Copies of this chain bind each other. A is one copy, B any other.
Amino acid sequence: MFTDWLRRTFAGVIRAGARLFGRMGLSPNMLTVLGCLLQLCAGVLVALGHLALGGVVLAVTSVFDAFDGALAREQGGATRFGAFLDSSLDRFAEAGVLLGLAWYWMQLPGALEEMLIYVALVGSLMVSYTRARAEGLGVQCKDGLFTRVERTLVTVVGLITGWVGVLAWILAIGTVATAIYRMIAVYRSLGKEPLV
**Residues of A in contact with B (beta carbons under 8 Å apart):** 77-85, 87-88, 91-92, 95, 99, 102-103, 106-107, 111, 114-115, 118-119, 121-122, 125-126, 128-130, 132-139, 179, 183, 186-187, 190-196
| Least distance between A82 CB and chain B CB atoms (Å) | 7
Give the CA-CA distance A187 to B33 in the complex, in Å. 14
Contact of A194 among B78, B84, B99, B136 (CB under 8 A): B78
Given A80-B193, A80-B194, A119 and B99 contact (CB-CB distance below 8 Å): yes
* Residue in A82, A118, A134, A179 with the greatest tally of chain B CB atoms within 10 Å: A118
| Least distance between A131 CB and chain B CB atoms (Å) | 8
Copies of chain A in the complex: 2
Contact of A91 among B77, B129, B187 (CB under 8 A): B129
| Least distance between A76 CB and chain B CB atoms (Å) | 9
| Least distance between A56 CB and chain B CB atoms (Å) | 24
| Least distance between A87 CB and chain B CB atoms (Å) | 5
Q: Which residues of B contact A179 (CB under 8 A)?
A: 88
Contact of A195 among B82, B126, B134 (CB under 8 A): B82
Contact of A190 among B80, B115, B196 (CB under 8 A): B80
Q: Are A191 and B102 in contact (CB under 8 A)?
A: no
With contacts A79-B192, A80-B137, A82-B195 known, what are 9 further pairs, Cβ within 8 A?
A: A78-B194, A80-B194, A83-B195, A84-B134, A85-B183, A122-B125, A128-B129, A129-B132, A133-B135
Q: Which residue of B lies closest to A176 (CB)?
A: B92
Give the CA-CA distance A41 to B118 in the complex, in Å. 18
Q: Are A130 and B83 in contact (CB under 8 A)?
A: no
Given A84-B133, A126-B92, A133-B84, A99 and B79 contact (CB-CB distance below 8 Å): no
6 nearest CB pairs, A to B: A135-B136, A132-B132, A81-B190, A132-B133, A78-B195, A95-B122
